[in-house]
Amino acid sequence: MSDQNQNSSEIHGVVGYYSDVDGIMNASRKIRDAGYKKWDAYTPFPVHGIDEAMGTKPTILPWIVLGMGLTGLCVGLGLQWFTNAYDYKFLISGKPTWSLPANIPVTFEVIILFSAYTAFFGMLALNKLPHLSNPLHKLERFKRVTDDKFAICVESKDPNFDLARVSKLLGVGSEHVETCPIDTTKAALPIWFHGVAAILTCASFIPLALAFKGRFATSEKPQYHVWPDMDFQRKRKTQTAWEGFPDGRAMRLPVAGTVATGELRDDFELYHGVAQGTAVPASVRYDAALFGSAAGADRPEWLAGFPAAVVVDEPFLERGRARYGIYCAVCHGNQGNGVGAVALRAENLDAAKWGWVPPKALHSDNAKAYSNGELFHIASNGISTMAGYSAQVPAKDRWAIVAYIRAIQATQALDPSAAPQDVEFQPVPTIDSVRVSDSGADGE
Amino acid sequence: MTTTDPSASFGGKPLKGQDPRVRPALVEGENESFATVTEAVAKVSEVPVPSTNKAWIVGFAISLSLLGMLGLLLVHLITTGVGVWGNNNPVYWGWPIVNFVFWVGIGHAGTLISAVLFLTRQNWRTGVNRAAEAMTIFAVVCAGMFPGVHIGRVWVAYWLFPLPNQMEMWPNFRSPLLWDVFAVSTYASVSLLFWYMGMIPDLATLRDRAVNTPRKIAYGIAALGWSGSSRHWHRYERAYLLLAALATPLVLSVHSVVSFDFAVSQVPGWHTTIFPPYFVAGAIFSGFAMVLTLMVPARQFFGLKHIITMNHIDVMCRILMATGMLVGYAYAIEFFIAWYGGVQYETFAFVNRAFGNYWWAYWIMVSCNVIFPQIFWSKKLRRNLWVVMLVSITTNIGMWFERFVITVTSLSRDFVPSSWGYFSPTWVDMCMFLGSFGLFFTLFLLFLRFLPTVAIAEVKTVMPQAHAHGHDSHGSSDSHAPSGAPIGGGSAAPASKQDA
Amino acid sequence: MNTSIELPKRDQVIARDLAGPAKAGLVIGVLALAATALFGLGYGDGMRHFGHSMLVALLFFLAITIGALFFTVLHHLTSAGWSVVVRRVAEAITGAFPVLFLVALGVLVIPVIMGSSYIYDWASHDFVYGGGDFPGSELIQAKGGYFGSLFFGARICFYFLVWVGLSRFFAGQSLAQDDDQDPSRTLKMQHRSGVSMVLFALVTTFAAFDMSMSLNAEWFSTMYGVYFFAGCFWSFLATLALATMWLEKRGNLKGVVSIEHYHDIGKLLFAFTFFWSYVSFSQFMLYWYADIPEETHWFHYRMWGEWTNFTLLLAAGHFLIPMLGLMSRHVKRRRGVFAAWCIYCLVFQFIDLYWNVMPEMVNGVGMGDPATTGPAFGMIDITAMVSVAGLFLFGFLNKLNGKPALAIGDPRLPESLAFQNV
């Protein structure tokens, strides 16, 4: 035993050492039963049953973790709701902006992240770690505690502390008892360490500060190009000028007198909707002089029937119905009544103020009055705000759509009273009838 | 020690196998004590650098050169663009994604050994969990690199995270690729915590044994002032239990999310519901194979044969075989349902895998993953280290090819025959994959050399001396420490989540 | 080997006088079966409701029995220690396989072979090849002979033969060990557990495909076998805890099974709550996300229509509530509270199977659209459950009657008795 004459205020505590698990368990029970509070057992590994022998109360760590797990749940869901369903909405793969099944994986990961960090840092905080200057670490013998020895230290701060009594209690079954002096050395770490740590800490704020400044500052300088060969490539883009060719254009024209495969459109009926050999109307969106009753003298000879290249039969109409469903129904509606999803959306947004012209009902008298050739021309080249579809839909399919529009017009002319008695007749909604009801917005 | 204890018999007949009446000792040897365990593990990191094991030095030199090559290739890739890879229409996901899934898969065994085996009280885990956790982290580092550089413009990689940016945009949380970002980064950081937390007491051991100042400072800071206080141990164990309980579903989720990258799409051969558990089983399979590949030589070279015993190898071989069969189960069910479902694209995708252009990859995969591990039905072969090494390496090869088969065969033969193609890697692809092994082994060899390779404190808890014998006030707690052999089911903490 | 553990005497643990309850189970089972059949006739739907109700009940008890077999095989596969004290209960539960086989023969196999399509639409020639009101189904035609009625019957018989064979081997060895205490029997069972597990996995997967997934023969999911298995083990664990408590109350396992064992069963129950949720969420999410019509239709009429609330009930009751409820150790360490949670789990296992089977009752063969025909829970479902429950109990108790309720010859019994959670 070391210096017994030491004043108890100058010592940190008394340490007893034991060589096996039984020894420390017995000593722990004695100290516990003697009513000490400021003491601890030190072991190289967690000893099973020592919590009970020491009278340690269960830690509240699990509850903290549970609380942070629930916080993670809210943060995970909230983050996804705010970013994707509130602040920056965009439609992707047809999923709703706020779609729970797709949000579960990230929510789960955030819960785990929060809980796991809380478990680790909560453990450190409750254990008051890191705590580098511990007077016990100054004892040479104490170093064996992380190897194969067991120790108990009763601290002098304990109100019941009595050097002699504690030494006696710890002495039973121990292999050694010593006092631990108070640690008087100032810093356990060399001074340069503090300096380096301080510099690194300050330096770590520099990138953050720069990013922060960048968000609120404007710059006159051109953008910095990290790898310029990606931004400035050695190629000419379409529709640009280039002095390398005599005509100054980057693009080349087809060789004179040649036609690309499939581009020889010499069947006027099929490709232009006019009688073979007559004047071909320009591929323009809409020219009142060419159309309907207001047409002028140079009205083309619009085809009334169908071109010879197509056979109007049931598969052809089916084809038309399918193409119509893909290309036309979003605006004109499945029933041709002009109540498609886009039309409804435009109505709700009051898009007319931007010059939007609502799609027409295809069974209106106006539409019926058009010849097949005119309908074909409109489908190909567009009218008012409608775009032309000649790029997306092949000519034969456009004719199939025309045939299907005629089918719509024919069915809409039926007399409701001729319907069978057990069929409830419902008039087809028009854009006016659905305008006020928001609920129909997903309709069609 | 052999497991067939010659003295074990019943009614005069000798028992064929480990006597079920006793559990084999986890730490083998006649006079093993706490001090000898500490000594055996700690001395690995304490030998002076010049007298390091020659095998380590050679291995480290090779790894470091491969790492250097990887560094150069990364510079080449970033300054030139991803065109240096073989990825092109229609196989835009080529080797980088294959490598990513391969490495993430390997990164699963560590946390599995630490967490799941902890919760199921498989005490043998203490011998290998530290190294497995380290392997996890280094494998995830390798994994994270590939998608990181695959994005092309690495300097805007932060767009992956929900940070406010100059375009006022947020990432799309409905995309499985973003789930991946969250899953892999959560997994990496939680695994790091788990690994580091387990190491704190052992770092304290190294600190207390340190004789020179640099070691004292380095281990002193890393050990955070750990003193072995029982009050600390109490919270530490609770936190470890919680981390284990959290890490278990996390392990399950990470590779499931990786599988979602494929399975939420409509690509034939990718879109099938068994993908999540199938990927998890495959990940555990490849992870255990990598643990074996690493630990069989490591225990040899660093004198840890009594701590990582033949019983450990035996158990891991059995897990390898079991997970291999789970993977085989998934292959079989996929094939069956491809036919049963009657979807012609799906049927074609699977027939094409087995008999199409990439038939060789498919059959390498099946042989390495399903057929070769079957030899572990034999106990003799499970205890033949050459066989174990061979099969663990073929398993890693097989699992790499599994990811190759899934990624490349499906993409190269998608719905539109006009876009079919044949994927060939470039030299950059191949060398970067090789280089990732350099990164992995450099980190792992550094770990072996400078950090506690075995969880010293945890191994001590499963030694017979760790249990109190007499005067125990609470009844039967000493009863599961019969003399000589600790019972596997008894000692270290089992768990349930949030045991409050 | 351990002197501080007192091994129970053989006489203390023998489960006597179970013949009476077993017979009562048989009588109640048969009577309830008759009542169910009468109710079924009353529906006038060609016994379709009867067939589906019986299928739910059969799957429910088959799931428990399959779980028991898995538990037994897994015990040997992992050389487990803690579970020795409850293993006999699991072995006894596997004694219900033969009687469930008879139910399966009567309800599934024989009617299908005789040409009835009252449960499985694919057994109807018109439904598959067109005729009557049906357009026919190319998808089912493509499966060719797989859905031949004889082949189907042979498969079901094969599954049951494997289950019965495995369960008889493991239970038989265990019972023999009671008498001779021979540790080499443990080694033998451990040795065969690997192959047994492989067989078990394949048979159980295909049983799930054939008995439940093929109700909608056009739908398919590679996960379905795992999904069914997750429910099997989940419901078995709840049954195991309840049966053990009952035997403890009878005095057969008094002082043998401690709260530590329930705690461990509880942890597994919690883990499999999570596993079931993981599997079923993955199955749903992958189909929801890819949105391919031939895959989503199965979920569609369960989620958007009359079954919506039922589906939400399943999600909340099978995952959220038990996950929060079973999290705390205090719940698992109090017999009364834990028993209540076990009953809760069994109720939701029933709801899960009901959700899998019943929407298919009106789907397919001309009874309407499941999306507009919601759950039609009636007395018939209760009597069907009572009926199979009675028969199940008969099989279980008959197996246990007069035998030790504890594997007293197991060499790891002391380890299991001393088992403690920390």
CB atoms within 10 A of CB A66: 18
Instruction: Give a three-class secondary structure readout of chain A.
Output: CCCCCCCCCCEEEEEEEECCHHHHHHHHHHHHHCCCCCEEEECCCCCCCHHHHHCCCCCCHHHHHHHHHHHHHHHHHHHHHHHHHHHCCCCECCECCCCHHHHHHHHHHHHHHHHHHHHHHHHHHHCCCCCCCCHHHHCCHHHHHHCCCEEEEEECCCCCCCHHHHHHHHHCCCCEEEEEECCCCCCCCCHHHHHHHHHHHHHHHHHHHHHHHHHHCCCCCCCCCCCHHHHCCCCCCCCCECCCCCCCECCCCCCCCCCCCCCCCCCHHHHHCECCCCCCCCCCCCCHHHCCCCCCCCCCCECCCCCCCCCCCHHHHHHHHHHHHHHHHHHHCCCCCCCCHHHHHHHHCCHHHHCCCCCCCCCCHHHHHCCHHHHHHHHHHEECCEECCCCCCCHHHHHHHHHHHHHHHHHHCCCHHHCCCCCCCCCCCCHHHHCCCCHHHHCC
Task: Kindly give the parts of chain C with pLDDT less than 70.
Answer: 1-5, 364-367, 422
| Per-residue confidence (pLDDT) for residue B495, from 0 to 100 | 35
Partners of C284 on chain A (C-beta within 8 Å) are 101
Using a 10 angstrom Cβ sphere, with 0-12 exposed, 13-18 middle and 19 or more buried, the burial of residue A232 is exposed
Partners of A93 on chain C (C-beta within 8 Å) are 289
Number of compact structural domains in chain B: 1
| Per-residue confidence (pLDDT) for residue A1, from 0 to 100 | 41
Q: Select from B340, B376, B406 the residue whose CB has the most chain C CBs within 10 Å, as the one to mutate to test that interface.
A: B340
C partners (3+ CB pairs within 8 A) are A, B
Give residue B88's domain range.
53-164+176-463
What kind and span of H or E run contains B138? helix B125-150
CB atoms within 10 A of CB C317: 16
In this prediction, the answer to ipTM > 0.90 reads yes
Yes or no, beta carbons of A48 and C291 under 8 Å apart: no
Partners of B328 on chain C (C-beta within 8 Å) are none
Give residues 34 to 73 of A whose Cβ lies within 8 Å of C.
48
Q: What number of CA atoms fall less than 13 Å from residue A292's CA on the CB side? A: 13
Sketch out chain A's domains with CATH numbers.
Answer: 1-183 (no CATH), 268-416+424-442 (1.10.760)
Written as six digits, the tokens of A50 are 């020592």
Partners of B260 on chain A (C-beta within 8 Å) are 105
pLDDT of A305 higher than 50: yes
| Per-residue confidence (pLDDT) for residue A286, from 0 to 100 | 66
Strands A150-155 and A386-387, sheet pairing: unpaired
| Each residue's pLDDT expressed in tens, for chain B with a length of 500 residues | 334 455 577 777 777 777 777 788 888 777 788 888 898 888 888 888 788 888 899 999 999 999 999 999 999 998 888 889 999 888 988 899 999 999 999 998 888 888 888 888 888 888 888 999 999 999 999 999 999 898 878 888 888 889 877 777 899 999 999 999 999 999 999 999 999 999 999 999 999 998 888 888 899 989 999 999 999 999 999 999 999 999 999 999 999 999 999 999 989 999 999 999 999 999 999 999 999 999 999 888 888 888 888 889 999 999 999 999 999 999 999 999 999 988 888 999 999 999 999 999 999 999 999 999 999 999 899 999 999 999 999 999 999 999 999 999 999 998 888 889 899 999 999 999 999 999 999 999 999 999 999 999 999 988 888 877 644 333 333 333 333 333 333 333 333 333 33
Nearest CA in chain C to B378: C191
Whole-angstrom distance, CA of residue B200 vs CA of residue C377: 59
Closest partner CB to C285 (pick from A48, A93, A101)? A101
Q: What are phi and psi of B415, to 5 degrees?
A: -65, -30
Whole-angstrom distance, CA of residue A377 vs CA of residue A391: 13
Residues 6+ apart with CB under 8 A from C420: B476, B477, B480, B490, C260
- C110 close contact with B: CB closer than 8 A: no
Q: Per-residue pLDDT tens for A333-387?
A: 988 888 888 888 888 888 888 888 889 889 888 888 889 999 999 999 988 888 8
Inter-CA distances, B337 with A168, A236, B350, C197, Å = 76, 51, 10, 22
Partners of A145 on chain B (C-beta within 8 Å) are 208, 227-228
Give residues 378 to 397 of C whose Cβ lies within 8 Å of B.
none
Yes or no, beta carbons of A84 and B238 under 8 Å apart: no
How would you list the strands of the sheet with A39-42, edge to edge?
Answer: A39-42, A150-155, A11-18, A176-181
Give the mean pLDDT of chain A: 85
Contact call for residues A408 and A336 (beta carbons, < 8 A): yes
Q: Per-residue pLDDT tens for A45-102?
A: 999 888 888 888 889 999 999 999 999 999 999 999 999 999 888 888 788 888 899 9
Written as six digits, the tokens of A351 are 């898009």
Residues 6+ apart with CB under 8 A from A385: A355, A356, A357
Q: Is residue B86 part of a domain?
A: yes
Inter-chain contacts counted by CB atoms under 8 A, chains A and B = 245
| Per-residue confidence (pLDDT) for residue B476, from 0 to 100 | 35
pLDDT category at A7 given cuts 50, 70, 90 is low
Partners of B151 on chain A (C-beta within 8 Å) are none
| Per-residue confidence (pLDDT) for residue B474, from 0 to 100 | 38
Interface of C with A (CB under 8 A): 281, 284-285, 288-289, 291, 422
| Per-residue confidence (pLDDT) for residue B2, from 0 to 100 | 39
Whole-angstrom distance, CA of residue B294 vs CA of residue A380: 68
Whole-angstrom distance, CA of residue C193 vs CA of residue C73: 6
| Per-residue confidence (pLDDT) for residue A70, from 0 to 100 | 95
Q: Is residue B333 part of a domain?
A: yes
Contact call for residues C258 and C241 (beta carbons, < 8 A): no
Closest partner CB to A116 (pick from B34, B238, B246)? B246
Give the mean pLDDT of chain C: 91
Written as six digits, the tokens of A380 are 């190909």
Yes or no, beta carbons of A102 and C422 under 8 Å apart: no
Contact call for residues B131 and B454 (beta carbons, < 8 A): yes
Q: Per-residue pLDDT tens for B87-138?
A: 988 898 889 999 999 999 999 888 888 888 888 888 888 888 899 999 999 9
Yes or no, beta carbons of C422 and A104 under 8 Å apart: no
Partners of B471 on chain C (C-beta within 8 Å) are none
Amino acid of residue B203? L
Q: Select from C138, C184, C283 the residue whose CB has the most chain B CBs within 10 Å, as the one to mutate to test that interface.
A: C184
A partners (3+ CB pairs within 8 A) are B, C
Nearest to C229 by CA among B279, B326, A324, B440: B326
Q: Per-residue pLDDT tens for C45-65?
A: 888 899 999 999 999 999 999
Nearest CA in chain B to C283: B273
Partners of B343 on chain C (C-beta within 8 Å) are 294
Closest partner CB to B470 (pick from A22, A79, A83)? A22
Contact call for residues B288 and B122 (beta carbons, < 8 A): no
CATH of the domain at B415: 1.20.1630.10
Using a 10 angstrom Cβ sphere, with 0-12 exposed, 13-18 middle and 19 or more buried, the burial of residue A352 is exposed
Nearest to B460 by CA among B128, B131, B27: B27
Q: Select from A88, A91, A123, A144 the residue whose CB has the most chain B CBs within 10 Å, as the one to mutate to test that interface.
A: A123
Specify the length of chain A in residues.
444
CB atoms within 10 A of CB C298: 24
Whole-angstrom distance, CA of residue B71 vs CA of residue B140: 17
Whole-angstrom distance, CA of residue B304 vs CA of residue B341: 52
Partners of B157 on chain A (C-beta within 8 Å) are none
Yes or no, beta carbons of A48 and B461 under 8 Å apart: yes
The Cα of B420 is separated from the nearest Cα of chain A by a number of Å equal to 24
| Per-residue confidence (pLDDT) for residue A9, from 0 to 100 | 60
Q: What number of CA atoms fall less than 13 Å from residue A13's CA on the CB side? A: 24
| Per-residue confidence (pLDDT) for residue A2, from 0 to 100 | 43
Domain spans of chain C, in order of start: 28-417
Yes or no, beta carbons of A148 and B34 under 8 Å apart: yes
SS3 of chain B: helix, strand, coil, percent, to 5: 70, 0, 30
Whole-angstrom distance, CA of residue B258 vs CA of residue B185: 12
Q: What are phi and psi of C343, to 5 degrees?
A: -65, -40
Yes or no, beta carbons of A104 and C288 under 8 Å apart: no
Which residue has tokens 């078995």? Answer: C236
Strands A150-155 and A39-42, sheet pairing: antiparallel
Residues 6+ apart with CB under 8 A from B175: A92
